[in-house]
Amino acid sequence: MRGLRPPAFSSASRSREEPPPREVRSGAATRSPAGVTAAEHGSALWASRLSPRGAEDQALAGGIMVTEQEVEAIGQVLVDPKQPLQARFRALFTLRGLGGPGAIAWISRAFDDDSALLKHELAYCLGQMQDSRAIPVLTGVLRDTRQEPMVRHEAGEALGAIGNPQALELLRQYCSDPVVEVAETCQLAVRRLEWLQQHPGQPTVAGPYLSVDPAPPAEERDMGQLREALLDETLPLFDRYRAMFALRNAGGQEAALALAEGLRCGSALFRHEVGYVLGQLQHEAAVPQLAATLARPAESPMVRHECAEALGAIARPSCLAALHAHAADPERVVRESCLVALDMYEQESGPFQQDRPEQPRPPP
Ligand SMILES: [Fe+2]
Ligand SMILES: [Fe+2]
C-alpha cells in the first residue's frame, strides 16, 4: 500500500489556508486535475488521519470529483463485511472527504456492522464532517444501548463536534448515562456547545491540527501550568481537555512526555483521548508509555485501541514490536486496531513521508 500518495498531491504543494472549492458533482470526471481518484485519496486521507497533514488532506479532498456510481461503489465497500477492514476504513475516509448527503447515507448504513472499531470510526467521521444532516443517525446511535459504549461515546462526541445547539437537550439527558464513558462524553459535548454559544464567531478548528476537538485549546502557554492542569483530577474534564489540546498544539518532547503521564490518570475516557492526541502529535518520546498501555490487559479496550492507533501513526520501528505482539489480541477491538495501525505504519513510513518534520528518521 506504499506510494499511494502521489507527489503532485503532497501537502507541500498547497497552502493549508487555501483549500480548493468543493467540487463533488454528479456526472463529473472521476479524477481530480492532479490525477488522483477519490479512492486513492481516501487511502492517503486514512493513512494520515491523525496528523496535521491528514487534516490538510481532508481539506484537499473537496477537490476530488466523483460520479454517483463511484460514491455507490465506495459505499458498497464500506458496508460489505466480507471486505478487509483496511479497505472499509479507506472507503469510510473517502466518503468523509467527499461529504454530502450521499456520503452520510452510506456511512449511516454501516452502523449495523459487528465491528465496534468500524462503527466508532463511522461516528467519528460524521462528527468531523460537521454536517447537521448527520444528527438524526447519531442521535439514534447514542440512544441505542445495544451499541457498544465506545460507539455510543463517539456518537455523543460527534454530536458535540457538529456544533449545532439543536443537540444540547439530548446530550444533557445522557450526561448521567450509567455508562461512565458515555456520560462523561456528553458532559464534555454540552460544555463544548455552551462554549461555542458563549464565543460566537470563534473558529471551531484552530491551530496546526484541523481536527474538530471535544474542547478548545487552553490559552495558557506555560508548559508546566498546562501539565499541571492536565493531570489535576480535581479539575473539570473540560478544562483538562483544554490543557491537553494546548499541549498537543505546542508539540515537542516536553509536551509528549507530559501527555504520556496522562495515560495513568483516572478516567478511561480521558486516557483514550490522551492516546488519540499522542497519535496526532507523532512524537517518538511517547512510544514506551503507549506500548505499555497497549500491553496492559486490565486497561479499557477503548484506551488500548487508541494507543495501538497512535503507535501506527507515530510509525517508527520502535512501534512495530508492540503492534505485532497484539495483532492477535483476544480483545477484538484491540486486535483490529493493531491491524489498522500496521496499515497506517506502512503508509506513514512510505516514500512520500520522508519529509516529516517532527523527528529525524533513524538511518535504515
Ligand atoms: Fe473516542
Ligand atoms: Fe478511537
60 in Cβ contact with 28 (< 8 Å): no
pLDDT at 4 > cutoff 50: no
Number of structural domains, the chain? 3
On the 0-12 / 13-18 / 19+ scale of CB atoms within 10 A, 171 is buried
Is 154 annotated as belonging to a binding site? yes
Q: What is the pLDDT of residue 35?
A: 41
Measure 124 CA to ligand 2 centroid, in angstroms. Answer: 8
Angle between helices 52-60 and 85-98 (to 10 degrees): 60
pLDDT at 233 > cutoff 80: yes
Mean pLDDT, rounded, for 43-59: 45
Q: Given pLDDT bands bounded at 50, 70 and 90, which one contains residue 120?
A: very high
Measure 34 CA to ligand 2 centroid, in angstroms. Answer: 31
CATH number of the CATH domain containing 179? 1.25.10.10
Is 199 annotated as belonging to a binding site? no
State whether 147 and 188 are in the same domain.
yes
Residue 61: which domain range?
22-113
Measure 90 CA to ligand 2 centroid, in angstroms. Answer: 15
pLDDT at 231 > cutoff 70: yes
State whether 142 and 249 are in the same domain.
no
Higher pLDDT, 4 or 110: 110
> What sections of 219-300 are H helices per DSSP?
223-231, 237-250, 252-261, 268-281, 287-294
Is 120 annotated as belonging to a binding site? yes
Q: What is the pLDDT of residue 349?
A: 79
State whether 120 and 108 are in the same domain.
no
Is 153 annotated as belonging to a binding site? yes
State whether 230 and 347 are in the same domain.
yes
Chosen domain end from 82, 113, 144: 113
Q: What is the pLDDT of residue 359?
A: 36
Q: Which ligand is nearest to the CA of 188?
A: 1
Return d(Cα 293, Cα 99) in angstroms, integer: 35
Chosen domain end from 46, 81, 113: 113
Residue 1 included in any domain: no
Scored b (16 or more CB within 10 A) or e, 82-116 reads eeebbbbbbbbbbbbbbbeebbbebbbebbebebb
Chosen domain end from 113, 132, 147: 113
Q: What is the pLDDT of residue 22?
A: 25
Measure 168 CA to ligand 1 centroid, in angstroms. Answer: 19
Is 148 annotated as belonging to a binding site? no
pLDDT at 352 > cutoff 60: no
Q: Which ligand is nearest to the CA of 116?
A: 2
Q: What is the pLDDT of residue 348?
A: 78
Q: What is the pLDDT of residue 37?
A: 54
**Residue with the three cell numbers 512501534:** 319
Q: Dig out the grid coordinates for 78 from the structure.
A: 464500506
The model's pLDDT over 27-46, given as tens digits with 9 standing for 90+, comes to: 222 233 334 455 555 555 55
Q: How many CA atoms lie within 13 A of 112 on its CB side?
A: 3
pLDDT at 354 > cutoff 50: no
State whether 344 and 229 are in the same domain.
yes
Is 306 annotated as belonging to a binding site? yes
Residue 164 included in any domain: yes
321 in Cβ contact with 315 (< 8 Å): no
pLDDT at 145 > cutoff 70: yes
Measure 30 CA to ligand 2 centroid, in angstroms. Answer: 31
State whether 293 and 305 are in the same domain.
yes
Q: What is the pLDDT of residue 180?
A: 98
Contacts of 13 (CB under 8 A, 6+ apart): 7
State whether 67 and 99 are in the same domain.
yes
Q: What is the pLDDT of residue 64?
A: 65
